[in-house]
Chains A and B, each alone.
Chain A
Amino acid sequence: MAVVFEPTKGLTDKPFHYCPGCCHGIIHRLVAETLVDNDALETAVGVASVGCTYNSYEYIACDMVQAAHGRAPAVATGIKRNLKDSFVFTYQGDGDLASIGTAEIVHAAARSENITVIFVNNAVYGMTSGQMAPTTLVGQVTTTSPWGRDPSYQGYPINVSEFLSNLAGAAYVERVCVTDYKNIQNAKRAIQKAFNVQKNKLGFSLVEVLSTCPTNWGKEPLAAMDWLKENMEKQYPLGCYKGADITFDADGKYVSGAIPATSNNCVNVGEVKK
């Protein structure tokens, strides 16, 4: 008898406080499993943000700090520049990253800061009870867009992965989801790739994970998964927006692919500095 799935050591014993069916739990687990897979639990540093996951530091079993709203990339920058051998990541919602934290994320990517951002996009401000976020879809009903988001009044959604991938400093940017087994495996692959990008000092990496907020969407967990597939994936197509051709060998060492040519942490194309 072989164990094919068991709780990862990368999570603490504390039960998640998230609502039933909320994808945050799945995404926490994928991050935690990646830390364990890479033997990085003792050295990694995570930066929690503001949102439902403000206390993700209680769940992910590595060292973590909590940043003020939107400031996680700036805090992670300071940590990474001092602990160059530690895997440093932020865990941020869409309200946190794409609204109050827009300046921090843009400049962290532009500097090609050698950090990894786990960006959880559920198209609302979850924690504060479902207000419209920059990522809210056109027509989507939220507590602050009760007649549906109207672009003529409230503007258009921001496609974070697309716009960050245009910055020269962004090494790797991919959008994934966790709606089913195949997509969960794919999300895990993407998080591992981001880990490798950082380990090889290739520069800024971001994995955007489309996520559900059953509570504030007013939907059952399963219906929320279906709504994500039918609506969010149209506005936010899955796929790799930067660094698709970056490859690593079996030991996670950089082999090939276009990477940012210069940045304070990075390397010349084709040659990985130790």
Chain B
Amino acid sequence: MAKGKLTFNENLCKGCGLCVAACPKKILELDKTRLNSKGYHPATCVNPDECIGCAFCATQCPDVVITVERF
């Protein structure tokens, strides 16, 4: 199974949660312990090892926060 690696341009995130719902592996969450520079709880990956690099999250993101690599 392919593996993915995510990079978040975190201060662009508006905490909308669309990526969280789009992820088939259910490994994205809004980090309720932190705020980004805009004052939103940013999306974060809680289990990077499970990522398959499908880019469903990045494709759904309205604010172009996520870059996805696959290996």
**A interface list, Cβ under 8 A from B:** 1-8, 11, 15-16, 18-26, 29, 180-181, 184-185, 214, 220-222, 225
Contact = CB atoms under 8 A, between A and B. Distances in A.
Interface size class, chain B: 20 to 34
A21 B68 CA distance: 20
A221 to B, nearest CB: 4
Nearest to A188: B59
B62 A21 contact: yes
Given A20-B16, A29-B64, A181-B60, A5 B22 contact: no
A4 B53 contact: yes
Interface of B: 4-5, 9, 12, 14-18, 21-22, 40, 53, 55-56, 58-64, 66-71
A168 to B, nearest CB: 37
A21 B16 contact: yes
A221 B67 CA distance: 21
A26 to B, nearest CB: 5
A20 to B, nearest CB: 4
27 contacts: A1-B5, A1-B69, A2-B71, A3-B69, A4-B70, A6-B67, A6-B68, A7-B9, A7-B64, A7-B67, A8-B64, A15-B63, A16-B63, A19-B14, A20-B15, A20-B16, A20-B40, A23-B62, A24-B62, A26-B61, A29-B64, A180-B60, A184-B59, A221-B17, A222-B17, A222-B18, A222-B21
A29 B5 CA distance: 21
A3 B71 CA distance: 9
Contacts of B71: 1-2
Contacts of A181: 22, 56, 59-60
Contact of A26 (B14, B17, B62): B62
A2 B71 CA distance: 6
A22 to B, nearest CB: 6
A20 B65 CA distance: 12
A180 B55 CA distance: 12
Nearest to B62: A25
Given A1-B70, A5-B67, A7-B64, A21 B22 contact: no
Contacts of A214: 16
A107 B64 CA distance: 36
A146 B40 CA distance: 30
B65 to A, nearest CB: 9
6 nearest CB pairs, A to B: A25-B62, A21-B16, A20-B14, A5-B58, A20-B16, A5-B55
A16 B9 CA distance: 13
A18 B62 CA distance: 9
Given A25-B64, A180-B60, A222-B21, 7 more contacts: A3-B68, A5-B66, A6-B68, A20-B14, A21-B14, A21-B18, A181-B22
A125 B61 CA distance: 23
A5 B55 CA distance: 6
Nearest to B6: A5
The interface centre, meaning the residue of B4, B63, B69 with most chain A CB atoms within 10 A of its CB, is B63
Nearest to A179: B60
A2 B69 CA distance: 5
Contacts of B12: 15
